[in-house]
Structure 1
Amino acid sequence: MLVVEFNNFGEVPLREVVNMQHMGKSKGRPILIAAGLIVLMVAISVGLIIRQAQARYQSAIYTGNSQRVDITKPLSILLLGVDTGADGRIDKGNSDTIMVVTINPKTKKTVITSIPRDSLAEMVGDQKTNVQKLNAAYNIGGSAMAKASVSKLLNIPINYYATLNMGGLKQIVNAVGGVTITSPIDSNFDGVSISKGTHHLNGKEALSYSRMRYQDPRGDYGRQLRQQQVMRAVLVKLTKTGTYSRYNQLLASLKGNLKTDLSFNDLVGLATHDRANLKGIKSTQIVGQPAWINTSSYQILSTSTLQSASDQLRQELGLKSAKISNMETKLNAQNTAYDGKTNLNYNTDGLDTITYTDGTH
């Protein structure tokens, strides 16, 4: 499990802090999904969101499908980056970023755990037993299926969710006046070229920098670290007095791009009660091994990987460890010949359909 700490807000280098334990590779779209909520919490906590913003938030962002947050207890939020481009749609599309954020008011810790989008997982809530890539859950059954599928995969409760599309990333960066990053590599993606070195990026450039993968020698590992770097850069800007006037613009940028079942009052409570959590955010990656299923490439999370991730997340939530047992562990037990190295063939007994509602995968 890779751990990245966001403790120093004065500088935003790209670096790996410590390699806690090996779990394989992970994929994901911009970690600004987390920033979408964290940014609002920071803004509210310093009293810079005017009262009129509540009505705008409730009507444009809040889905109204959750119970009131108990700010004295640990909670989890499922963050989904939806692959719908920059056109403002978030009702369809696969969730190409999948993260679980745990907030523990007792330990003052906030941890962001990234899950590979191509992880083999059961679509919990489907009418028939169905295993597909985890990123299909949102497309098939919306936030409810995504929450249920991640919950079953890792044996943890998922209390809330938030979805953000790619247009949201670009607008958030523009709303804070751009971000300054130091790129460790040359990047060229979607018509935007960024050379190795320090640059001030606008929203379009930050989106390109966050999405580029194939030119990075670390592949998805490198992309995920760059996404975390952009998030940290946004938080740096929000701590500077000169950007305080941009909070209304920021809230406007989230309209049509962000949906969540955390109400405005919930965010106020989290911001005022748990502001200390924002001073030391940690990020971890769950990673698996490659496999081929019906000519499609998957990531397989071994039973030991699932158990380790579950134990860590449950600890963050103040829960006791529990033996994980689900469709994934059952299939792992049946695939004794698969090793993710010399043998990449993985048998799902025909349970996978590899058919998404928009015809993509």
Structure 2
Amino acid sequence: MPTTPASRGPSSGRASVPGALAPTSGARARVSAANAPTSPAAPGVYGRSSARTPGNGGEYSGRKKIRPRWGRIALVLGCLVLVLALLAGLGGFIYYKYVDSGLNRDDPFSQITDGRPPKVVDGALNILLLGSDSRDPDNKGKPGEWRTDTMILLHIPADHQHAYLISMPRDLYVHIPKSKTTPYGNTNAKLNASFSWGGTPLTVQTIEEYTNVRMDHVLLIDFGGFKQVIDALGGIDMNVEKDITSIHPPKRHFNKGMNHLNGDEALDYARQRYQFPDGDFARMRHQQEMMKAILDKAVSSGTVSNPAKLNSFLKAITKAMTVDKDFSLADMALQFRNLRSDDLTFMVSPNDGSKKIGGEDVVVPDKEKATALYDAVRNDKMADWMATSGPKPSTAPSAKASTKSK
């Protein structure tokens, strides 16, 4: 579910309630002082008719001062702010629950009865994102009827201050366990064969076996459905690596540099791979950039703070996703509301590049580096891994001017 960075401090909503109530205690003190006995020699005390007035020669005036009621007013206003804050929070919670009810749901874990890795760190989350270009929502998650060309392991540390997205090449050559529902598996093959043979459950089994990381949730994303998500944002900005012409009708031309793309254009560009020397790795890179651009636009355009825009955005997202039965968009929104695109780190599962095995072009895993990476994910030590072994920040220049793809 990246751009003007947000404050790292406590959320303004949480800070505002104590701030609104703070005057109350002082107000009570002033009201109490008004009713307390005072001596004639105590100038400036609320409620006394004998207050000294500068310039009157030290004499007390006979006028009775009006007793201020600021204390009670502050108390009422503080309570009102508290009630409004609670109502706003309740309204937001009810709304997100309403959005949750509109999500398509599946149970990818129900067929996995044994052999799953243990949960190691409470609070950390590992979410498997599976994406494809399916146009038929009835076939989502069914073996043999829906291919997934995008597999991303999303790791969110227990402190919820960052997110690491590890793209796993669809041609990664791995062991695929025996499917519990089909006659396939128990062999080495390309990673995306796991989905063709056994749907979401076999894909989860395969990735958990390869990484030894337990998945908490699975999100099946229809990238074709992301057209509506991008259009709901009014388009996104993506940096095109070089001038290319799409291989798909209507064969759009994309100009090198920053392009403002609508939903159809962004998806078309993110699908291209044959025009780039690194092929499928380029496509993974562009898909990552598209996801980051969506988050950037959602934050920078005011979508998250505009109820009408937010409603359209979230409705488009729910139509594009199928989630496990325990996934809650409301919980995710509350826990990770402070994440911004600068808090996302994208990388690719360690590999030795493409080679031929058994006459097929496959991506060969770098087992040593992959083991170190996924150990860091499992034990929630990604910050340490990044410091010693992580990918270097991209040095690719970003164009300042935007051009429209044709």
Q: Same fold (TM over 0.5)?
A: yes
Which of 166, 172, 179 is residue 229 of structure 2 equivalent to? 172
1:284 and 2:347 are equivalent in the alignment: yes
Partner of 1:353: none
| Cα distance, 1:107 vs structure 2 | 6.4
Which of 210, 214, 217 is residue 153 of structure 1 equivalent to? 210
1:129 and 2:172 are equivalent in the alignment: no
Structure 2 Cα separation of the partners of residues 105 and 47 of structure 1: 25
Partner of 1:303: 367
Question: Does the residue aligned with 2:94 lie in a helix, a strand or coil?
Answer: coil
Structure 2 Cα separation of the partners of residues 251 and 176 of structure 1: 10
Partner of 1:82: 132
Larger radius of gyration between Structure 1 and Structure 2: 2
- Opposite residue 309 of structure 2, the aligned amino acid is R
1:313 and 2:313 are equivalent in the alignment: no
Q: What are the equivalent positions in structure 2 for 1:62-81 lying under 5 Å apart?
A: 62-63=105-106, 73-81=123-131
| Cα distance, 1:154 vs structure 2 | 1.3
| Cα distance, 1:83 vs structure 2 | 4.4
Q: 1:233 to 1:145 in 2, by over 3 A?
A: same
Q: String of CA shifts for 1:218-276, please: whole Å, max 9, x gaps.
A: 43333333222222221122113543322222233234531111646x33233323434
Q: 1:200 to 1:167 in 2, by over 3 A?
A: same
Q: With structure 2 as the length reference, what TM-score do the two structures score?
A: 0.60
For the 8 Å contact 2:103–2:323, the answer to whether it is kept is: no
Q: 1:161 to 1:226 in 2, by over 3 A?
A: same
For the 8 Å contact 1:49–1:248, the answer to whether it is kept is: no
1:221 and 2:285 are equivalent in the alignment: no
Q: String of CA shifts for 1:56-103, please: whole Å, max 9, x gaps.
A: 533442336679x9x96112001111242x444423322211110011
| Cα distance, 1:134 vs structure 2 | 0.7
Q: 1:185 to 1:195 in 2, by over 3 A?
A: same
Structure 1 Cα separation of the partners of residues 345 and 287 of structure 2: 14
Structure 2 Cα separation of the partners of residues 233 and 276 of structure 1: 17
When structure 1 is superposed on structure 2, of 274-283 and 133-142 the one drifting more is: 274-283
- Opposite residue 298 of structure 1, the aligned amino acid is V
For the 8 Å contact 1:161–1:260, the answer to whether it is kept is: yes
Structure 2 Cα separation of the partners of residues 60 and 147 of structure 1: 20
For the 8 Å contact 2:194–2:202, the answer to whether it is kept is: yes
Structure 2 Cα separation of the partners of residues 79 and 284 of structure 1: 14
Structure 1 Cα separation of the partners of residues 279 and 189 of structure 2: 23
Structure 2 Cα separation of the partners of residues 263 and 232 of structure 1: 25
RMSD between aligned alpha carbons? 3.4
Partner of 1:357: none
1:270 and 2:332 are equivalent in the alignment: yes
Structure 2 Cα separation of the partners of residues 90 and 251 of structure 1: 20
- Opposite residue 380 of structure 2, the aligned amino acid is E
Q: 1:105 to 1:267 in 2, by over 3 A?
A: farther
Question: Does the residue aligned with 2:163 lie in a helix, a strand or coil?
Answer: strand
Q: 1:247 to 1:61 in 2, by over 3 A?
A: farther
Q: Between Structure 1 and Structure 2, which shows a larger proportion of helix residues?
A: 2
1:209 and 2:269 are equivalent in the alignment: yes
Q: Percent identity?
A: 24
Q: What are the equivalent positions in structure 2 for 1:43-54 lying under 5 Å apart?
A: 51=94, 54=97
For the 8 Å contact 1:82–1:90, the answer to whether it is kept is: no
Structure 2 Cα separation of the partners of residues 46 and 297 of structure 1: 53
Partner of 2:163: 110
Structure 2 Cα separation of the partners of residues 297 and 125 of structure 1: 23
Structure 2 Cα separation of the partners of residues 300 and 118 of structure 1: 8
Structure 1 Cα separation of the partners of residues 159 and 320 of structure 2: 32
Q: With structure 1 as the length reference, what TM-score do the two structures score?
A: 0.67
Partner of 2:245: 188
Question: Does the residue aligned with 1:141 lie in a helix, a strand or coil?
Answer: helix
For the 8 Å contact 1:76–1:100, the answer to whether it is kept is: yes
Partner of 2:173: 120
Structure 2 Cα separation of the partners of residues 176 and 48 of structure 1: 23
Q: String of CA shifts for 1:181-204, please: whole Å, max 9, x gaps.
A: 232311221222111133211000
Structure 2 Cα separation of the partners of residues 229 and 175 of structure 1: 18
For the 8 Å contact 1:102–1:317, the answer to whether it is kept is: no
For the 8 Å contact 2:124–2:158, the answer to whether it is kept is: yes
For the 8 Å contact 1:174–1:202, the answer to whether it is kept is: yes
